[in-house]
């Protein structure tokens, strides 16, 4: 019988587990504080639990934190972490410091099945979904390796995989991250990025999680989006933006639209003007991401004047648009560059 990963359980489920093993529910709360407060990975070390209960628990359960196999620092201060999961599969997380923030980008799948044409991760195909415990395990692993006093302040679901294609684990991990008895992150500091799975966005809208939403848009008409993002054949741009209009956006928050700029594909002034029209009525901000080249991609980054011109047109129309020079570009950790060989 495989042992239960305690990181897959909400604090309330840890209480249920404690009760089912014959001890009072508060023992579950003690386990939660060991896991999330102290980052304990060894049940035996949970010293305020009775010794015989620890033995029973260790027999049934484990604390499976992904192991950091490799850590690659970038010149810009970000770090790519290659993490090995229990079954040998590998995923990546990226730590990105910026002024007083430290953002961790987490993966939700091993590989990805959506095959966006400009994305290196997409060339891997989908190996498997990551569990909720493996998602929050990335936070614990990264946190354990920080310098004294270091603190992860923001989490973005923008690593390998499509979070809403692994819906149940994504939502459970969000509940773990925002539960005051677990990680206690403010939902405003968490962003879920999706390729545009309309059904998933609509479900997420009803979860009352209050996290931020980011949409990988990358094109302004269906013809181009069909070509570079096959998911568009299932959910057209108009349908996607309608779902965004209905999404509950917290006070002072905006939906982020990610737009990778590909020379000669989606970087014309006409594209920029179309983007203005498409986003009407949505509290939006746009992240323009000059394409990060990878061998064999078949795409190129537009010239600087083209990138700045695209941004200027958006700004002139009152749309918040920032050019994101991806972090970790030199270490293959930039947006759309995460790829890892998978060993099962």
Site string for ligand SF4, 185-204 (x = CB under 6 A): ----------x---------
Which member of 34, 36, 53, 114 binds ligand SF4 (CB under 6 A)?
A: 114
Closer CB to ligand SF4, 117 or 249, in the complex: 117
Of residues 317-336, those binding ligand SF4 (CB under 6 A): 336
Is the CB of residue 13 less than 8 Å from the CB of residue 181?
Answer: no
Least distance from ligand SF4 to the Cβ atom of residue 195, Å: 4
Closer CB to ligand SF4, 216 or 256, in the complex: 216
Beta-strand relationship, 212-216 and 255-261:
parallel
Stretch that binds ligand SF4, among 14-22, 45-53, 144-152, 154-162 (CB under 6 A): 154-162
Closer CB to ligand SF4, 112 or 313, in the complex: 112
Instruction: Give how far Cα 267 sits from Cα of 127, 255, 307, 308, Å.
Output: 33, 21, 7, 10
Here the tokens at position 311 are 């941004």
Q: Is the alpha carbon torsion for 333, 337, 272, 242 positive or negative? A: negative
**Angle made by CA atoms 177, 182, 187, in degrees to the nearest 5:** 30
Is the CB of residue 34 less than 8 Å from the CB of residue 46?
Answer: yes
Closer CB to ligand SF4, 102 or 231, in the complex: 231
Total site size for ligand SF4, rule CB under 6 A: 13
Stretch that binds ligand SF4, among 18-26, 95-103, 116-124, 267-275 (CB under 6 A): 116-124
Closer CB to ligand SF4, 77 or 125, in the complex: 125
**116 binding ligand SF4? (CB under 6 A):** yes
Q: Which residues, including other chains, have CB under 8 Å from residue 138's CB and lie 6 or more apart?
A: 66, 81, 83, 91, 93, 104, 106, 107
**Angle made by CA atoms 234, 238, 244, in degrees to the nearest 5:** 95
Question: Which residue has the closest beta carbon to ligand SF4?
Answer: 122
Instruction: Give how far Cα 29 sits from Cα of 17, 32, 73, 254, Å.
Output: 11, 5, 36, 35
**157 binding ligand SF4? (CB under 6 A):** no
Site string for ligand SF4, 23-62 (x = CB under 6 A): ----------------------------------------
Closer CB to ligand SF4, 114 or 183, in the complex: 114
**119 binding ligand SF4? (CB under 6 A):** yes
Is the CB of residue 267 less than 8 Å from the CB of residue 239?
Answer: no
Least distance from ligand SF4 to the Cβ atom of residue 199, Å: 15
**112 binding ligand SF4? (CB under 6 A):** yes
Least distance from ligand SF4 to the Cβ atom of residue 55, Å: 42
Is the CB of residue 93 less than 8 Å from the CB of residue 161?
Answer: no
Alpha-carbon Rg for the chain in angstroms: 21
**265 binding ligand SF4? (CB under 6 A):** no
Give the separation between CA 182 and CA 28, rounded to whole angstroms: 11
Reported as half-sphere exposure (CB side, CA atoms, 13 A), residue 17 has a value of: 26
- Per CB under 6 A, residues contacting ligand SF4 are 112, 114-116, 119, 121-122, 160-162, 195, 216, 336
């Amino acid at each position: 019988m495989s042992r239960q990963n305690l990181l897959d359980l909400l604090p309330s489920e840890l209480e249920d587990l404690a009760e089912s093993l014959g001890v009072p529910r508060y023992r579950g709360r003690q386990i939660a504080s060991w896991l999330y407060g102290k980052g304990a990975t060894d049940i035996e070390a949970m010293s305020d639990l009775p010794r015989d209960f620890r033995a029973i628990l260790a027999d049934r359960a484990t604390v499976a934190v992904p192991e950091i196999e490799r850590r690659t620092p970038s010149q810009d201060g970000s770090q790519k972490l290659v993490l090995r999961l229990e079954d040998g599969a590998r995923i990546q997380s990226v730590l990105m410091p910026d002024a007083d923030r430290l953002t961790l980008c987490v993966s939700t799948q091993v590989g990805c099945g959506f095959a966006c044409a400009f994305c290196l991760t997409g060339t891997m195909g989908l190996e498997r979904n990551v569990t909720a415990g493996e998602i929050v395990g990335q936070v614990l692993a990264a946190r354990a390796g920080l310098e004294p006093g270091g603190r992860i302040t923001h989490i973005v679901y923008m690593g390998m995989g499509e979070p809403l294609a692994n819906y149940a684990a994504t939502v459970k991990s969000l509940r773990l991250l925002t539960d005051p008895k677990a990680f206690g992150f403010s939902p405003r500091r968490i962003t879920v990025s999706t390729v545009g799975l309309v059904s998933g966005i609509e479900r997420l809208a009803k979860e009352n999680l209050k996290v931020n939403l980011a949409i990988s848009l990358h094109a302004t008409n269906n013809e181009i989006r069909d070509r570079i993002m096959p998911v568009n054949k299932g959910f057209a741009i108009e349908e996607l933006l309608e779902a965004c209009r209905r999404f509950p956006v917290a006070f002072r928050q905006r939906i982020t639209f990610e737009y990778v700029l590909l020379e000669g594909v989606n970087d014309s002034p006409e594209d920029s003007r179309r983007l203005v029209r498409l986003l009407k009525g949505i509290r939006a901000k746009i992240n323009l991401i000059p394409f990060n080249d990878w061998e064999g991609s078949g795409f190129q980054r537009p010239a600087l004047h083209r990138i700045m011109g695209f941004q200027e047109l958006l700004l002139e129309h009152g749309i918040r648009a920032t050019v994101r020079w991806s972090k970790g570009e030199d270490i293959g950790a930039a947006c759309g560059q995460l790829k890892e060989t998978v060993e099962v």
